[in-house]
Amino acid sequence: MSNAADVMAKARKVTRPTSLEFIEEIFDDFIELHGDRYFADDKAIVGGIASLNGMPVTVIGVQKGRTLEENVRRRFGSPNPDGYRKALRLMKQAEKFNRPVVTLINTSGAYPGIGAEERGQGEAIARCLFETAGIKIPIISIFIGEGGSGGAIALAAGDRVWMLDNGMYAVLSPEGFASILWRNPLRSGEAAELMKITANDLIKNGVIEKIIPEAPEGIENNLKFTTDIIKESLMNEFKVLFALSKEELIEQRHDRFRKFGEFDEGTC
């Protein structure tokens, strides 16, 4: 397999640690909060209040299951609009109490069901992005596995975006890309190379700021190796972000994402 295809396989591996496992290792005293206050509690999104070395934080993650039954209940980590509305509610609550936010992302994309569309899937994602742009507390987003389409970017509009060694981030799945371009989803490995989905590609292109290493023996065999690095990195980065005024924080966040709209005509 190509390097990108190998990364894709590792990012999707069923034994890869879930958001709740990362939360348990990185944070203390996690209290999960439920519901979007509109319709339902989406099990594909977990979130709540925790402590990071004594500092109160809000942590939100896309949650996949460990068993088939749990994956069905959590829709294999594909959130409904209720999940994005829950995430936004928790971020607004964090702003009210001046708690920083950490988001953990591992999703193939938002759930494409009829009910999700009827309840405004696109609007929920757009609202999440729009509101996050103006929230006046530090936000750090971490790709711990797969990041697919708008379902991932809804939780990735932070001041800093990090990715694990074997994470990926794409505008659509490589299988979808291959089906559109070549009418052959079996060419997904080739598509993954073209799409520049890996952490190394993304940091070169300025999409992410930091790559978090994984243990050589595999993250599923040594999660602590990675979570210790994440924990120290979060504490150091939040000190930097909290040193900024609210106005500076928002301006830098806006500048971070505006740069993706700036193209050199010679490269188009």
pLDDT in tens, 69-80: 999 999 999 999
Q: Whole-model pTM?
A: 0.93
pLDDT in tens, 93-145: 999 999 999 999 999 999 999 999 999 999 999 999 999 999 999 999 999 99
Measured between alpha carbons, how far is 162 from 175 in angstroms, rounded to an integer?
24
* CATH for the stretch 3-254: 3.90.226.10
pLDDT at 268 over 70: no
The pLDDT value recorded for residue 168 is 95
Which sign does the torsion angle of CA 198, 202, 208, 212 carry? positive
Residues 6+ apart with CB under 8 A from 125: 81, 84, 110, 150, 151, 153, 154
Percent of the chain whose pLDDT exceeds 90: 92
What beta strand segments (E) does the chain contain?
28-32, 45-52, 55-62, 101-107, 139-148, 160-164, 168-170, 210-212
Q: Is residue 262 very low, low, confident or very high in pLDDT (cuts 50, 70, 90)?
A: low
pLDDT at 267 over 80: no
Mean pLDDT in the chain?
Answer: 93
Mean pLDDT of 183-210: 93
